[in-house]
Structures are given as structure tokens and as C-alpha cells.
């Protein structure tokens, strides 16, 4: 069954009104027609099952047969703060973070971050990452869409960590570290922030600041991982 995203405000009463890119995909790529069964989700956890009732040149109307209410929310919330790597590796990271259930991803800039953005370019990038998160949610069957946060400096991110119950940061050297399993032992309720550094890792000043702020440093094992697989 075809699965599409709709804005919550487009589901009115017993009908869903679809336009824009989703309608184009349904009509011109999937070649759906009146009478075809369809599943839609609104990114908040709610899903709809229905039949295409009417199509236009760039619109379609779905008659809702069944509404699947959001499942009981999980007891924890995971945010990934990722130093933006070179090339298009961030696209892959957003995709996999969505598939693995991350609630939000915050792109960050650290001292060793190679990729730098102008205001216009980062705005375009965030829109691209939002589209990737949406498409990944559609593909993997999630009824919620991973939120992409605003591009932030590492120090600015640390100034907001009191909002999280647990903050962990993989680190290669220079500090005492716990194993990931040991650090997560007993954590089942609350909000977690995972901070992943750039290709060259965090510099000594960033590590000192993070330690002073109470960040928990962890080891991911003996092997050094790339930033897009950490």
C-alpha cells in the first residue's frame, strides 16, 4: 500500500486534501488513481487509511476509512547533535538517524569542522535535511518525522544541555571514559543528547569545556569510527 505524508491541517473531517510534492509523487510517479487504497501520516504519530476519492491536475482527495491514533509515546527522547562532515555525509547520517528512531538532529559547528556555511546556504541545507528525514520516515514506516534543529555552534549547544537528563559524547583520548553499555545502564526514562564530533575529533578546549559542563564521555570500543558511523 502506498504511504504518503500529509500536513495535520490537511486532514479535515473525513477527508484528506493533498497537493504539492506528495500529490505529484502519487499521481505522476506512483500513477495512483481514483479507488486506490492509500496510507497517510501527519508526522505527529497519527496515520490514516483511505481511498482516493478524487484527483485533479496536481491534487487529490482521500476519503478516510480509518484513523490510527498515535501509539503510547516512548519514555525517552533522543537528540543527536552532529558536527557537519564534508561532502554529503550528513544526508546519510540524517537518513540513518531517522531509521534508528532519533527524535531530532541538531547540526553543529566545532573548531575542527571543515564545512562552513553562509546563512543562505545553511538555510537551504536544513530544508534538504528536512526532506531527507521526511522521506526516510515514509520509507521505514515511522509515523513521526525526525526534527532538524537549527545549526548551532558547539559552545552554544553546551549552554543548553541542562534541558537533557543525560548527555554523552564519544571521545578518543584525554579523558576518562565509560563504555556505552555501562553509561546507558538504567537509563529508560528522560531525554538524551548524543554529541558526535567532526572528522578530526574534538579539540582539547572543547573537551575541557564539555567536562566542566558535566558531559559524560564514552568509548565506542578500540576501533576508531568515522563520524558518519559513530
Give the model's pLDDT for residue 224: 57
Mean residue pLDDT of the chain comes to 89
- 77 has a pLDDT exceeding 60: yes
Q: pLDDT at position 226, please?
A: 59
Q: What is the 3 state secondary structure string of 71-90?
A: CCCCCEEEEEEEECCCCCHH
- What pLDDT was estimated at residue 230? 54
User: Does residue 47 contact residue 41 with C-beta atoms inside 8 Å?
Assistant: yes
pLDDT-derived band at 2, boundaries 50, 70, 90 = confident
- Report the candidate in 76, 72, 138 with the shortest Cα–Cα distance to residue 102: 76
Instruction: Kindly state the percentage of the chain with pLDDT values over 90.
Output: 63
Q: How confident is the model at residue 223 (pLDDT cuts 50, 70, 90)?
A: low
Q: Are 229 and 191 in contact (CB under 8 A)?
A: no
What is the DSSP track for 103-156?
A: SEEEEEE-TT------HHHHHHHHHHHHHHHHHHHHHHT-SB-PEE---EEHHH
Q: Model confidence over 25-72: pLDDT tens digits? A: 999 999 999 999 999 999 888 999 999 999 998 999 999 999 998 877
Q: Using CA atoms, how far apart are residues 149 and 81, in angstroms rounded to an integer?
A: 9
Q: Average of pLDDT values for 91-111? A: 96
Q: Going by DSSP bridges, is the β-strand pair 47-55/2-5 parallel, antiparallel, or unpaired? A: unpaired
- pLDDT at position 11 is 85
Are residues 49 and 3 in contact, defined by beta-carbon separation less than 8 angstroms?
A: no
Residue of 161, 164, 162 whose CA lies nearest to 189: 164
Condensed to tens digits (0 to 9), the pLDDT of residues 6-34 reads: 988 888 789 999 999 899 999 999 999 99
Average pLDDT over residues 124-135: 96
Burial class (CB in 10 A: 0-12, 13-18, 19+), 10: middle
Residues 206 and 155: their CA atoms lie apart, in Å, by 8
Q: Please report the beta strands in 69-207, taking only residues with DSSP state E, as ranges in sequence order.
A: 76-83, 104-109, 147-148, 152-153, 166-170, 178-179, 190-196
pLDDT recorded at residue 118: 86
Contact 179, 136 (CB under 8 A): no
Of 184 and 125, more confident: 125
| Structural domains of the chain, with CATH | 2-68 (2.40.240.20), 76-219 (3.40.1280.10)
Amino acid at each position: 500500500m502506498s504511504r504518503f505524508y500529509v500536513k495535520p491541517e490537511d486532514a479535515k473531517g473525513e477527508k484528506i486534501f493533498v497537493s504539492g510534492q506528495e500529490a505529484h509523487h502519487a499521481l505522476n510517479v506512483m500513477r495512483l488513481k481514483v479507488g486506490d487504497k492509500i496510507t497517510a501520516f501527519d508526522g505527529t504519530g497519527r496515520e490514516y487509511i483511505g481511498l482516493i476519492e478524487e484527483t485533479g491536475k496536481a491534487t487529490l482527495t482521500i476519503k478516510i476509512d480509518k484513523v490510527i491514533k498515535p501509539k503510547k509515546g516512548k519514555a525517552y527522547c533522543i537528540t543527536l547533535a552532529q558536527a557537519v562532515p564534508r561532502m554529503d555525509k550528513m544526508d546519510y547520517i540524517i537518513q540513518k538517524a531517522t531509521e534508528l528512531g532519533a527524535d531530532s538532529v541538531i547540526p553543529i559547528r566545532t573548531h575542527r569542522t571543515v564545512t562552513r556555511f553562509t546563512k543562505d546556504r545553511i538555510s537551504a541545507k536544513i530544508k534538504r535535511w528536512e526532506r531527507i528525514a521526511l522521506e526516510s520516515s515514509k520509507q521505514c514506516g515511522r509515523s513521526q518525522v525526525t526534527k532538524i534543529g537549527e545549526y548551532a555552534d558547539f559552545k552554544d549547544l553546551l549552554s543548553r544541555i541542562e534541558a537533557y537528563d543525560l548527555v554523552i559524547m564519544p571521545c578518543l583520548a584525554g579523558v576518562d571514559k565509560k563504555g556505552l553499555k555501562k553509561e546507558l545502564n538504567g537509563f529508560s526514562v528522560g531525554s538524551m543528547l548524543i554529541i558526535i564530533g567532526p572528522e578530526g575529533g574534538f579539540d582539547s578546549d572543547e573537551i575541557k569545556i564539555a567536562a566542566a559542563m558535566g558531559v559524560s564521555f564514552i568509548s565506542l570500543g578500540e576501533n576508531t569510527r568515522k563520524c558518519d558511523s559513530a
